[in-house]
Chains A and B, each alone.
Chain A
Amino acid sequence: MSIIQVEHVSKVYRVHEKPEGFRSAMKDLFQRRYIEKTAVDELNFSVEQGEIVGLLGENGAGKTTTLKMLTGILYPTAGKVTVAGYCPTERKKDFLKQISFVMGNKSDVNWDLPAVDTFRYQQLIYDVPEVEFSENVSYMAELLEVKHLLKTQLRRLSLGERMKMELINCFLYTPKVVFLDEPTLGLDLRSQIAIRTFLKKYRNDHKTTMMITSHYMDDIEETCDRVILLQKGQKTFDGDIAELKKPEMSFKEGILNLMGSGEKQK
């Protein structure tokens, strides 16, 4: 059975239409207009254990919304989501201990303290045994080359180093399924490469399932086995990454080509 199953999932947001100008603002104070915005529309896919799947699409295509429904942060408006055999929105403790969500723009590590102190707190939250904790921290810190920085106050680290600490924090309890939303956002090339290498090695060692969204095509090309393309909330492509790597065009051109044909289909 697939570790992630998404069946006919949709998400509709009700958005307040904000008017322009002073007079309209006054009118809006008493009478408000709302519009419905479909972020995800009838989505279907499944992911197998150990697979790394790239979720691609332009801004507003529904990538992050999909990840948030898979992690139980958002309730789907319609459809059914199953991750590791659980319904995510029920927030069962056993489920939450098996997943992790790395958000490129939202850090969970305390800025005023050395990263290792936050890791200790994470250990307590996820009931990680001491031996496993030490092994995991040491394994990941070595892989990401940040062992010497574990006791430095976080705000004194560079963006890349902070992201690496965030990764250690999110992988500390050996989750089965990891969702990564723009994990290399704003990072320099060296850090990007280090993170990609880490993700590949980690998957090989632990058979972890991962879903990644990124606007850097190199992230997807180098780490993913499979790609799902979303356009205006709908799936327009779902296939092996090898299908997009053709001798006559680069991976990026392949994606752009797909986006173009997806638009035409719609």
Chain B
Amino acid sequence: MKYVKLFYAQCKLSVMAATMYRANFWLMLIQSILNTFMTLLSVEFIYGSVESIAGWSKEDMIVLICTSLIVNQMYRGIIHFNQNRFVNGVGSGGFDKLLLRPVNLLFQVNTGPIHISGLLSIIAPVIVLLSQLSKMSSHISATQISLYLLFLINGVVVLASFMLLLYTLAFVFIKVDGINNIYYLMMDMASKPQEMFGKECLYGFLWVIPAIPLANAPAMVLLGKRSVLPLALYLLIGVTFVLLSTVSLHTGRKRYTSASS
């Protein structure tokens, strides 16, 4: 309960801080709309020349892309900003402050100030997704929607814990901002149909670079597409990466040298 309260307080503080700069607040919203609009415009132009891509119609592709945008922005808005603060903190000594607080370290590393622009960016893809769903509503059951939400959250968990696992390398190499490239790559892959990976590489993109559970899994559930893999496997991947990142964080802490003041 304390952690829910802490999270709520952090959200409140971040919104208060962001509203201090009102103009920027609105600009961030415009940026998010533009981002979604440009991505969807590309899809529109591509589907102007082809009927379907590996069995994914334009409507399916919009659901997939919106899902990947939602997962991405949830991670970016709530977690990525704080994980980056943690990485910088390991290099600059700012991590000291986290070690001093009587709060779970994993919670502190993943949460903190909310990146409002990231969260606002969810609005545009959510609206597009909802409008898409309203067109398809006759084919979609409540179970599908509940499962979609479950796998959506699982996608965020997989992404967050996989990235944290990589970011804990900061304890060894100090400067690891290059890892952000893996995040961008993951999101790029997540927005593409899983057929792109081929059967040979499928397991690599589940366990080594887990891009498939992020958006393909929830989108397939929602669209009623037949999954090649058992659905529980995606959840197992989530649990595994949470465990791995926790162990890595606590092991890495022993190597922390705290930059001199």
A binds B: yes
**Residues of A near any B CB (own CB < 8 A):** 13, 60, 64-65, 68, 71-75, 91, 93-94, 96-97, 99-101, 103-106, 108, 110, 112-113, 117-118, 120-121, 124-127, 153, 181-182
| Contact call A125/B257, Cβ cutoff below 8 A | no
CB neighbours (8 Å) of B256 from chain A are: 73-75
Q: Are A106 and B102 in contact (CB under 8 A)?
A: no
Known interface pairs A73-B258, A106-B261, A125-B103; A112-B20 also in contact (CB < 8 Å): yes
Q: A91-B105, A101-B96 are in contact. Are A125 and B6 (CB under 8 A)?
A: yes
Q: In the complex, A209→B213 CA distance in Å?
A: 52
- Residues of A near B96 (CB, < 8 A) are 68, 71, 73, 101, 103, 106
Shortest B5–chain A CB gap in Å is: 6
A106 touches B93 (CB 8 A): yes
Contacts A68-B96, A73-B96 aside, 7 further interface pairs with beta carbons under 8 A come to A71-B96, A91-B105, A101-B96, A117-B16, A124-B6, A125-B101, A125-B103
Q: Which residues of B contact A153 (CB under 8 A)?
A: 20
A-B residue pairs, 3 tightest by C-beta: A96-B102, A112-B17, A93-B102
**What are 5 A-B contacts defined by CB distance under 8 Å?**
A91-B99, A110-B13, A112-B16, A125-B101, A153-B20
Smallest CB-CB separation from B104: which chain A residue?
A93
Q: Return chain B residues, CB-CB under 8 Å to A68.
A: 96, 258
Q: A97-B102, A181-B261 are in contact. Are A124 and B93 (CB under 8 A)?
A: no
Q: Mark B91-116, 1 if CB is under 8 A from A, else 0.
A: 00111110111110100000001000
Inter-subunit contact A74/B257 (CB<8 Å): yes
B261 and A105 within 8 A (CB): yes
Chain A residues closer than 8 Å to B248, beta-carbon distance: none
Q: How far is the CA of A64 from the CA of B261 in the complex (A)?
A: 7
B135 interface residue per 8 A CB criterion: no
Q: Which residues of B contact A103 (CB under 8 A)?
A: 96, 261
Q: List residues of chain A with CB within 8 A of the CB of B20.
A: 112-113, 153
CB distance from B114 to the nearest CB of A (A): 12
Are B99 and A121 interface neighbours, CB within 8 A? no
Decide: A113 and B97 in contact? CB cutoff 8 A. no
The listed residue (A65, A96, A112, A182) touching B101 by CB distance below 8 A is A96
Cβ-based interface call for B139 (8 A): no
Residue of B nearest to A108 (CB): B97
Are B258 and A74 in contact, CB atoms less than 8 angstroms apart?
A: yes
A125 touches B13 (CB 8 A): no
- B144 neighbours in A (Cβ, 8 Å): none
For the complex formed, measure the closest distance between the CB of A34 and the CB atoms of chain B, giving whole angstroms.
13
Complex Cα–Cα for A68 and B94 (A)? 12
The winner among B10, B17, B257 for most chain A CB atoms within 10 A is B257
With A105-B261, A124-B9: A75-B17 Cβ-Cβ less than 8 Å: no
**With the chains together, A72 CA to B256 CA distance in Å?**
11
Instruction: Determine the chain A residues whose CB is within 8 A of the CB of B2 once the complex forms.
Output: 124, 127
B42 located at the interface, meaning its Cβ lies under 8 Å from any Cβ of chain A in the complex: no
**Which B residue sits closest to A88, measured CB to CB?**
B99
Query: In the complex, how many angstroms separate the beta carbon of B69 from the nearest chain A beta carbon?
Result: 27
Cα separation A102 to B256 with both chains bound (whole Å): 20
B257 neighbours in A (Cβ, 8 Å): 13, 74
A121 in complex: contacting residue of B10, B93, B260, CB < 8 Å: B10
The complex places the Cα of A113 from the Cα of B9 at a distance, in Å, of: 13
The answer to whether B101 and A113 touch across the interface, beta carbons within 8 angstroms, is no
Known: A91-B105, A106-B96. A64 touches B260 (CB 8 A): yes
Residue numbers in A under 8 Å from B22 (CB-CB)? none
CA distance A101 to B261 in the complex (A): 13
A101 to B5, CA, bound (A): 24
Nearest residue in B to A120 (C-beta to C-beta)?
Answer: B9
Complex CA gap A96/B96 in Å reads: 12
| C-alpha spacing A13/B256, complex, angstroms | 10
* Complex alpha-carbon distance, A4 and B24, angstroms: 49
* Partner pick for B13 among A71, A106, A121, A182, CB 8 A cutoff: A121
